[in-house]
Amino acid sequence: MRILIVEDEKALASEIKQFLEKEEYNCDIAHTGNDASELIADNPYDFILLDIGLPDFNGLDLIKEAKEYNSEAYFIVITARGELEDKLKGFDLGADDYLPKPFSLLELLSRIQAITRRKFGQKMSVIEFGDFSLDTMKRYLQFKDHGIDLTKKEYKLLTYLVLNKNRILDRLQLTEHIWGDFFEDDYDSNYIDVHVKNIRKKLSEYDNTNWIKTVRGIGYKFEIE
Fold held by 126-222? Arc Repressor Mutant, subunit A (1.10.10)
The pTM assigned to this predicted structure is 0.66
pLDDT in tens, 111-137: 898 888 777 666 567 888 999 999 887
Instruction: Please compute the mean of the pLDDT values over residues 173-196 and round it to a whole number.
Output: 69
Q: Any idea which architecture 2-119 has in CATH?
A: 3-Layer(aba) Sandwich (3.40)
What does the alpha-carbon distance between residue 194 and residue 214 come to, in Å, rounded to a whole number?
13
pLDDT at 87 over 70: no
Q: Where are the domains of the chain?
A: 2-119, 126-222
Highest mean pLDDT of the ranges 58-67, 84-93, 107-116, 204-213: 204-213
Question: Burial, 203: exposed, middle or buried (Cβ in 10 Å; 0-12, 13-18, 19+)?
Answer: buried
What does the alpha-carbon distance between residue 141 and residue 176 come to, in Å, rounded to a whole number?
23
Higher pLDDT: 5 or 90? It is 5
What does the alpha-carbon distance between residue 87 and residue 100 come to, in Å, rounded to a whole number?
10
At 131, is the secondary structure helix, strand, or coil?
Answer: coil
What does the alpha-carbon distance between residue 32 and residue 162 come to, in Å, rounded to a whole number?
35
